[in-house]
A and B are shown apart, each in its own frame.
Chain A
Amino acid sequence: MKDWQSVLARPREGQHIAQVYMDDGALIDVLAHFVRTGLAQGEGVVVFATPAHWGECVCRFAAEGVSLHEAEGCGQLAVLDARTVLSSFMVDGMPDWKAFQDVVGTVINLTRRKYRRIRAFGELANLLWQRGEHAAALRLEELWNHLVKLHDLALCCAYRIDDLDESSYTDGLKDIISCRHTHLVPSHDCPKLERSVGHATESLLGPRVAAMVRSLAAAHAPATEMPEAELMLLWMREHMPVTAAKVLSRARGVAALAHAAHARRSSRIVHRRASAARPPAR
């Protein structure tokens, strides 16, 4: 199974990664990982994030005893408010290439002067996506593709999308993949997602037909590298929609059970700790 963490830790020049996440906690994990590994490898890092998300990320670093001041001071790390940047290049509701290049391209250029390798993290397209401005988000991804090529940078775009939600496969993920992303990194714990989707598919079709469907999906895989579970779901959504809905429903059930079991375990641990801390009854 592919190590998706390493894709984010060591993205190559020209790679355009789409990171899907479900909640802010997961986004902060990814952002911190992306920034930490970039700085550690001596790369220039440019972040376009909302102040709230970046603030949480800074707290995460502070808790680890890591200060970002030095990196920011020497120009290795540039952080910009995603909302402000976004509003600066939107013209008539669509991203404008010249304005985008003036703002985003300039920051990349400045970092490029000092650092041979650059990685960028963006929430820009997601902001448009969440506002329902899908065409503008997809146009922005095209502009990013130009910039990635122009500056030979590695880019990670984060999208808040539930990859166990059926509607995500009708337009969301499919459209995002169509933007020539090189990788689609899933939101859930990948091995768990693979297991729950694999189990659900096999329970509906039996292992042998499921294997055939997996092979057919793999045979028609798009250029975007993604986990087998996402690949299967995207393919099934298009060719076996009833089955896709049932697989997702079962996978959600498995995920919910796992979540409940985790919550019960955590609650038992808290209870045990509280009992241990209580003085023994006389």
Chain B
Amino acid sequence: MAHSSPRESLRHRLTQLGIPREVHETAGLARMLPVRLNGSALDRLDADALAEALIYLIQNEIIRCPARLEGLPDLDWGAHVCHFYRGRDDLMTFLAACFRRGLAGNEYCVGIAPDAEAAQALRAAVVLAMPDFDHRDRAFECRTHEAWYLDRSGQLRAADALIADLVHLTEEALRAGYNGLRCAVWVAAVDRGNWPRITDYESAANARLPGMRITAVCAYPLLECDGRELADVRNTHEDAIVESAGWWHRVTASEARDAGAVLKALQGAKR
């Protein structure tokens, strides 16, 4: 018979790992796992089993302790993370929160959106999330993929040139008195034709950014990526951030096989 709360020894371990006691019942634990579960089936699940799964993931540093968006630790300088989003809601929520923190921390913020309309929507989301945005308007700009990634002939620019632009932008931001650069890229669709060049760029960024006063977030559509693309994105970023049932999960696994297992489970929602 399923327990509504796990046994005390497991609750103790959960607490030690930062999972508050108020979410120790079956439904709460299910929400803390980086997998979307069907609400009506939650009561039938076993609290001990869910607790053990969660403990394994956190204890082995496959995920960090899940948090509400406002409790998600901010990115360190040099961080290059990916955000797997399911829909526009969680994407906008995340990017707006990300830029709000950057603007509050006197960082120069650049959003790179798929097109002009998306750029406008992203700007509107940031304005909405930041009541005093007008005072920081000059610290935020939105560019389009076309303007950032493509050359005059419409081809994807080389990884070196893109990285050089990021470095240049960071230096300009520092010269202008900002603490650093925060850059977030919104990928609307997986560009399979250019995929090898995109992963080259992501790998180059992953190697170049540490040590710089820059934080970079690349948002990819979770349900659009196939297994290989999911692994490529995960492997070319430090961590992967994803939302599930109002909780934010940071998949930190250093071993690709562990991260792959968690991300595959996260993708389960599309089936």
**A contact set with B: CB distance below 8 Å:** 203-209, 211-213, 215-216, 218-220, 239-243, 246
Q: Give the CA-CA distance A206 to B258 in the complex, in Å.
A: 19
B7 touches A242 (CB 8 A): yes
Would B261 and A215 count as touching, CB distance under 8 A?
Answer: yes
- Choose one: A213, A218, A219, A241; the contact of B53 (CB below 8 Å): A213
Known: A203-B44, A206-B41, A219-B260. A242 touches B265 (CB 8 A): no
B145 in the interface (beta carbon within 8 A)? no
B31 CB to nearest A CB, Å: 12
**Which residue of B37, B255, B258, B269 contacts A209 across the interface (Cβ within 8 Å)?**
B37
Q: Does B109 contact A (CB under 8 A)?
A: no
Chain B residues, CB < 8 A from A220: 257
**Chain A residue nearest in CB terms to B262:** A212
Chain B residues near A215 (CB-CB < 8 A): 260-261, 264-265
- Chain A residues in 8 Å Cβ range of B2: 204
Could you tell me the distance between the alpha carbons of A146 and B10 in the complex, rounded to whole angstroms? 44
CA distance A242 to B52 in the complex (A): 8
- Closest chain B residue, CB of each to CB of A245: B48
Q: Separation in Å of the B26 CB from the closest CB of chain A?
A: 10
Residue B184 interfacial (CB < 8 Å): no
Q: State the interface size on chain B (CB cutoff 8 A).
A: 30
Q: B260, A208: Cβ atoms under 8 Å? A: no
Extra contacts besides A206-B37, A211-B264, A220-B257 (16): CB < 8 Å: A203-B44, A205-B50, A206-B41, A208-B265, A209-B265, A211-B265, A212-B262, A213-B53, A216-B56, A219-B257, A219-B258, A239-B56, A240-B49, A240-B56, A241-B52, A243-B46
Contact in complex: B33, A209 (CB < 8 Å): yes
Q: Closest B residue to A240 by CB, please name it.
A: B52
Residues on A with C-beta less than 8 A from B269 are 208
A208 and B36: CB pair below 8 A? yes
Q: A212, B264: Cβ atoms under 8 Å?
A: yes
Q: Is the CB of B48 within 8 A of A208?
A: no
Set of chain B residues within 8 Å of A241, measured between Cβ atoms: 52
Give the contacts of B35-85 with A (CB-CB under 8 A): 35-38, 41-42, 44-46, 48-50, 52-53, 56
B18 beta carbon closer than 8 Å to chain A: no
A208 contacts B35, C-beta separation under 8 Å: yes
Q: How far is the CA of A240 from the CA of B10 in the complex (A)?
A: 11
Question: Residue of A at shortest CB range from B257?
Answer: A219
B50 and A209 contact, CB distance less than 8 A:
yes
Binary contact readout B249-265 vs A (1 if CB under 8 angstroms, 0 otherwise): 00000010110111011
Q: Which of B36, B37, B49, B265 contacts A243 (CB 8 A)?
A: B49
8 A Cβ contacts from B96-139 to A: none
The residue in chain A whose Cβ has the minimal distance to the Cβ of B34 is A212
Q: A205 — which chain B residues lie within 8 A by C-beta?
A: 45-46, 49-50, 53
Contact A209 B48, CB 8 Å, known A215-B264, A216-B261: no
Assess the B268–A206 pair: CB atoms within 8 A.
Answer: no
Specify which of A218, A219, A246 is in contact with B49 (CB 8 Å cutoff): A246
**Chain B min CB distance to A205 (Å):** 5
The chain B residue with its CB closest to the CB of A220 is B257
Q: How far is the CA of A163 from the CA of B48 in the complex (A)?
A: 23
What 3 A-B pairs have minimum CB-CB distances, sorted nearest first?
A: A212-B265, A215-B261, A219-B257
Q: Name the distance in Å between B255's Cβ and chain A's nearest Cβ.
A: 8
Known contacts A206-B30, A209-B33, A209-B37; A246 and B265 CB within 8 A of each other: no
In angstroms, how far is the closest chain A Cβ from the Cβ of B173? 40
Instruction: Report the separation of the CA atoms of residues A218 and B260 in the bound assembly, to the nearest whole angstrom.
Output: 11
Give the complex CA separation of A215 and B57 in angstroms: 13
Complex Cα distance, B117 from A271, in Å, reads: 78
- Min CB–CB distance A45 → chain B (angstroms): 40
Does B53 contact A212, Cβ atoms closer than 8 Å?
yes
Distance of A53 from chain B, by nearest CB (Å): 40
Closest to B56 in A: A239
**In the complex, chain B residues whose CB is within 8 Å of the CB of A242:** 7, 10, 48-49, 52
The smallest beta-carbon distance between B73 and chain A, in angstroms, is 24
**A219–B261 CA distance with the chains assembled, in angstroms:** 8
In the bound complex, residues from chain A placing their C-beta under 8 Å from that of B42 are 206
A246: B residues at CB distance < 8 A: 46, 48-49
Complex Cα distance A217/B72, Å?
29
Closest to B42 in A: A206
A232 to B: closest C-beta gap in Å: 12
Residues of A within 8 A of B56 (CB): 216, 239-240
Q: Residues of A contacting B7 with CB < 8 Å?
A: 242
Q: How far is the CA of A199 from the CA of B37 in the complex (A)?
A: 17
Instruction: Name the residue of chain A whose CB is nearest to the CB of B10.
Output: A242
B52 adjacent to A209 (CB under 8 Å): no
**Which B residue's beta carbon lies closest to that of A214?**
B261
Interchain CA distance A242-B30 in the complex, whole Å: 17
CB nearest neighbor in B for A238: B56
A276–B262 Cα gap in the complex (Å)?
Answer: 59
Measured CB to CB, the closest approach of chain B to A83, in angstroms, equals: 43
Shortest CB distance A15–B (Å): 26
